[in-house]
Amino acid sequence: MIYQWTSAPYLKYAEYGGKTEEDEAAISWDSPILGTPLPPLSQWKTPTLVQLQYIGDRRIRKPRIIADAVSSAGIHLISQKAADALHDIWDKHATLYPVLLEDKPEEPYYMVVVHTVIDCLDREKSIDSKALEETERGQKGYFDMVTEWVMREEEIGDNELFVLPDKKTTIYTTEAFKQRVLQAGLTGFGFAKTRYFDDEPFIS
């Protein structure tokens, strides 16, 4: 089973955005319009993030639960606990960029940037919302958003975590990754099966 790593702030977990325009541009690195290019880790300036979501009446600020995995407009953020528990997976597949959560400054959090790219999407059987034209981040035939995916799983091998060449911030995971999350008791990780608009994604 291949899942899309998703988040569900609409259930109970926090979602974040940049405190300043500079902070927002840093975490929007994959957007050629809103973001700034992602620098090497050694040149990264830690952005400060603030909660965006509220419970109930939006006029009343009620902070949501800060889980081990929270999101920022599709960017995945993880706690130090998650970084430590799955360190072998991150070391193999990703770079962790530090971020500062304004409402939890005592605990380090990290933005997950996956560098394992596998072009394993069966494009004839999958459903997309829009095909990309020739752009800086893609090429004709790539999808801007995959709404229903069918993967050629034999090409994934033992990679627990990967992205498609279509979009670098949409992360896919295997059952092995999901089980590691559960074994470590990590909260806030969402796993959508086959459909982006999954009405009942599994949330740890």
How do residues 74-113 score in pLDDT, each as one tens digit?
899 999 999 999 999 999 999 999 999 999 999 999 999 9
Contacts by residues 130-137 (CB-CB < 8 Å, ≥ 24 positions apart): 132/166, 135/32, 136/32, 137/30, 137/32, 137/167, 137/168
140 is a domain residue:
no
87 is a domain residue:
yes
Q: 102 lies in which domain range?
A: 2-119+146-203
What is the rounded CA–CA span in Å between residue 169 and residue 40?
17
**Does the structure show a pLDDT above 60 at 32?**
yes
Number of domains composing the chain = 1
What pLDDT digit, counting tens, does each position of 119-141 carry?
988 877 776 655 544 444 445 55
34 is a domain residue:
yes
131 is a domain residue:
no
194 is a domain residue:
yes
124 is a domain residue:
no
Of 146, 154, 155, residue with least CA distance to 123: 146
126 is a domain residue:
no
User: Mean pLDDT of all residues in the chain?
Assistant: 84
In the DSSP assignment, the letter for residue 23 is: H
What pLDDT digit, counting tens, does each position of 132-174 carry?
444 444 455 566 666 678 889 999 999 999 998 888 888 999 9
130 is a domain residue:
no
Asked if residue 126 lies in contact with residue 174, where contact means CB atoms within 8 angstroms, the answer is: no
What is the rounded CA–CA span in Å between residue 171 and residue 152?
16
